[in-house]
Amino acid sequence: MSEYRLFPSVPSAVSAELAHLTPHLQQLLYRRNITDKQSASDFLEPDYERDLHDPFLLNDMDPAVCRIELAIKKNEHILIFSDYDCDGIPGAVVLHDFFTAIGYSNFSNKIPHRHFDGFGLNIDLIKDIQKTEPKPTLIITIDCGTTDSGAVKLASEFGIDVIITDHHEPKDVLPEAVAVVNPKVGNTYPFSGLCGAGVVFKLVQALIIKGNYKLVAGYEKWWLDMVGLATVADMVPLLGENRALAHYGLTVLRKSRRPGLQQLLKTQKANQSKLTEDDIGFTIGPRINAASRMDNPEDAFFMLATKDEGEAGAYVNHLEKLNQERKTAVALMTKDIHKRLKLIDEVPPVLVMGNPDWRPSLVGLAASKLAEEYNRPVFLWGRDGNEKYKGSARGGGRVSVINIMEAGAEVFLEFGGHHMSGGFTVLDEYIHNFGESLNQAFLSLGEKADVSEPLVVDMELNLDDIDNTFIFNQNKLAPFGHSNPKPVYLFSGVTPNNVSVFGKAKDHTKLEFETNGLAKEAICFFKTPDKFAMTPKVGQKLSLLAELEQSFFMGRLQTRLRIVDIV
């Protein structure tokens, strides 16, 4: 990945408008299309009251609130049904905590099993739910349900009402639910980018506004830890209302009294009071997702929801064990693929492999590594608990996996995603020729398969520029994520005084520099020096594309560069 372009410098008119800010901060804001004083102020200083919209503007919020109030009044059994990922699970905790806080106990939580139940509400699950005791008369979905018309219809036939809270794209016909609360439905809500936990938080806000629950004013803000966690983890755009939810969510996460979170961070030697979006991405998120990838997703839910120290510790230990098992399973899968690749003369343009014994929930993790290693699209599949062939695709180099799937659509039962990442289910009759079909689809596309765009570099810097003021200014743009990526800098003509590999497998790269700046080393995980566009050597000038990061691992503050490429 050696193609890049420097973003243009701040025009003089914009610089004059943002004259109260440092030139570096002006450039970072200009890169984000922020060009006037008011927009800069709004972006740099998120405001809870200003940035959060009226929850009753969401589609069907009124009937949703009325139906829940009726259920509470009549002491009906309510089932909270959420997705199994790091959006649905925290969202389920928000609603669980709300009912608990108002003293309502006639509810239960259900999270489908990824391997056996699949995503969302389905007819088989509704059949199981209506047999449970106590049978619910109201289901509230979180992060799913918008396209599950058949399941909602069957629930109604069984005398079960459904309220959908979700953020996924609707179909032309909505389910006949009591309410479909979704920012992508209708045109009354001013922001469509909420995650599932964000939508259910708006439901809780609406319930508190309308009801008389004797909660201390602002009590619901304690649940922003779950909303912030989900907003960052679910890769929704970190702009507008989401920026405020992520910002205040991280603030609450740093103070969260949840024993499960506290113990999880402690075991990983992460400093809770200095928590960042990177800790969500690399520490909290993978362990929550490990529950559904390897075992029962409700283990992650209980880890977050429990107030019992002992229970929390047991769940944290269990999730850590599952995460290690997940790493081992992905490593074995990758090793198996490497063995198979040694037996073929030439790796095809689209790398396609599968095994009925592989868990579909894990193949995406292996596909990501292989796509980077072989610089080409990778499609991997396994077989789920319902005997369906499911998999994940990752783009490598410049090729769109969604364009490939669209060109070979006849082999799929279903597929979706975007250019660099997707998921699919293969029709049984095509599984043996799946690789051949996708490579033919790729060849048929020709130039249309290429969706490459050069990496946009925020600005060029000298290593000496990185001081406390610069870091303070960069941090004002955090949290980083989708639609607000971490800045990438170009350091031209820098000379490393040491080049080394580290880690148990010696598969990580470290460069060290002489500089008056605070970042004296640059690292890259899972990539050795020979894998970059240019192989770095001691005493030889190079150009470095890198992000700037700070870590508080084991209580020690470290400022360093994270290598994107060496050119």
Q: DSSP letter at 280? A: I
The pTM of this model reads 0.93
If you average pLDDT over residues 54-72, what whole number do you get? Answer: 98
**pLDDT at residue 256, rounded to an integer:** 96
Residue 65 in contact with residue 49, Cβ under 8 Å? no
**pLDDT at residue 96, rounded to an integer:** 98
**pLDDT at residue 309, rounded to an integer:** 97
Mean of the per-residue pLDDT values of the chain: 95
Q: How far apart are the C-alpha atoms of 402 and 485, rounded to whole Å?
A: 23
Domain definitions of the chain by residue range: 4-44+455-566, 55-223, 254-323, 330-449
Q: DSSP letter at 421? A: E
Q: Which CATH architecture has domain 55-223?
A: Alpha-Beta Complex (3.90)
Give me the CATH code for the 4-44+455-566 domain, please.
Answer: 2.40.50.460
Residue 478 in contact with residue 27, Cβ under 8 Å? no
- 178-190: pLDDT as tens digits: 999 999 999 999 9
Q: How far apart are the C-alpha atoms of 375 and 351, rounded to whole Å?
A: 10
Q: How far apart are the C-alpha atoms of 304 and 316, rounded to whole Å?
A: 9
Residue 285 in contact with residue 233, Cβ under 8 Å? yes
Consecutive H or E run containing 313? helix 309-342
What's the CATH class of domain 330-449?
alpha beta
Q: How far apart are the C-alpha atoms of 263 and 1, rounded to whole Å?
A: 39
What are the C-alpha distances in Å from 474 to residues 26, 27, 39, 121, 375?
A: 11, 11, 17, 42, 31
Consecutive H or E run containing 418? strand 412-418
Map residue 563 onto helix, strand or coil.
Answer: strand
Consecutive H or E run containing 542? strand 542-551
pLDDT at 319 over 80: yes
Comparing CA positions, the residue from 69, 75, 134, 85 lying closest to residue 108 is 134
- 494-550: pLDDT as tens digits: 999 999 999 988 989 999 999 999 999 999 998 999 989 899 999 999 999 999 999
Q: How far apart are the C-alpha atoms of 375 and 106, rounded to whole Å?
A: 53
First to last CA, the chain: 9
Map residue 470 onto helix, strand or coil.
Answer: helix
**pLDDT at residue 2, rounded to an integer:** 60
Quickly state the pLDDT bin for 1 (edges 50, 70, 90): low
Highest mean pLDDT among 37-51, 372-386, 389-403: 37-51
